[in-house]
Amino acid sequence: LDEFELIQRFFNRAPADDSVLVGVGDDGAVLKPDAGRNLVTVIDTLVENVHFPSDLNASDIAFRAVAVNLSDIAAMGARPRWMTLALTLSHARDDWLQDFATGLFAAADEHNVSLVGGDTTRGEQIVITVQINGDIADGCQLTRSGAKPGDLVYVSGTVGDAAEGLAVLQARGVQNDDTEFLKARFCRPIARIELGNELVPLASAAIDLSDGLYSDIEKLISSSGVGAIVDCESIPLSGPLRRIAGDRALRSALTGGDDYELCFTASPKQEPSIHALAKALGLPITAIGRIREGSGVTCRQNGRDITFSHPGYRHF
Ligand code: ADP
Ligand code: MG
């Protein structure tokens, strides 16, 4: 299987729409953006044994590589459109590539994203870089920097599941509905594209959760030049996480990464709209704290402040 054949067989597929004037197969892709919309570009690399265990199935590896990029697009409030794929593999095995392509296009097709080019190389480790270009109406981007004192801090879905899912995957222990749920949260993250789009008129700032709730809120507030108080009892934990992680559930929620939920801030006057949005999307959106003047994240549990020294936390 040579490089040309590999690309033709697994990665040359019809684009999602006629915005792709030249796609896979030439020296470059030619893309036609919609008039009046700005481009939003994101890129993420996943390295074997760093971002995923090497025995994770190829379909999940590819799905995640696309989903983590879609999540960045979601956090900007943008619409994903075109992606490129840089693939480094130690060997080109047919069945692995077939699974990889299946996962890749499953994630992309859900949002009509076209694969328009890439690069394929041999190396000792699997390294996957996906770049997605999206678009957004002028001035409509959500950024990390708009949070204001008094705004509420919200999070979508539940947090901590993916980190626990990875631990479950690696432990290879008993399997039940709870462990399967947690594993799927790691292997098949759901980028909150629709939520991001709907938040454009509502949110003052947004970030997607890749490194862990605590450190991602820190990034948002430091970009905004504000502080935050997080109420630990309000943090949404799934039933499976509570049952499998027990006492570690809150710690997983605050410091575990890979959830790809959205964390955003909004003025309290948007509360009814956000409540309605959660209902319309069938996705929990939970207020977990408040922005204040100053700096730093303060986590409160049972009226006491908790500080973290990553990855654990200590009480004082
Ligand atoms: P060049 O040598 O001009 O960079 P390549 O031979 O690397 O071109 O690639 C040929 C075509 O295949 C290009 O259009 C490139 O974008 C595309 N391509 C290469 N690898 C991939 C991949 N993994 N997925 C999608 N398209 C790819
Ligand atoms: Mg070329």
pLDDT in tens, 46-85: 999 999 998 999 999 999 999 999 999 999 999 999 999 9
**What's CA 231's distance to the chain center, in Å?**
23
pLDDT for residue 311 is more than 80: no
pLDDT for residue 314 is more than 50: no
Counting atoms of ligand 1 from 1, which one is nearest the CA of 119?
20
Cβ pair 185, 162 in contact under 8 A: yes
Per-residue pLDDT, 91? 87
Using a CB cutoff of 5 Å, list residues around ligand 2, an ion. 27
Which tens digit of pLDDT belongs to each residue from 127-143? 999 999 999 999 999 99
Per-residue pLDDT, 310? 57
Q: Which ligand is nearest to the CA of 92?
A: 1
- Mean pLDDT, rounded, for 121-128: 95
Quote the ligand 1 centre to 112 CA distance (angstroms). 21
Q: Where are the alpha helices (DSSP H) in the chain?
A: 3-6, 58-75, 94-109, 161-171, 177-187, 193-199, 213-224, 239-245, 249-255, 271-281
Take atom 4 of ligand 1 and give the residue whose Cα is closest: 27
Which tens digit of pLDDT belongs to each residue from 8-35? 999 999 999 999 999 999 999 999 999 9
Round to whole Å and give the CA distance between 207 and 110.
22
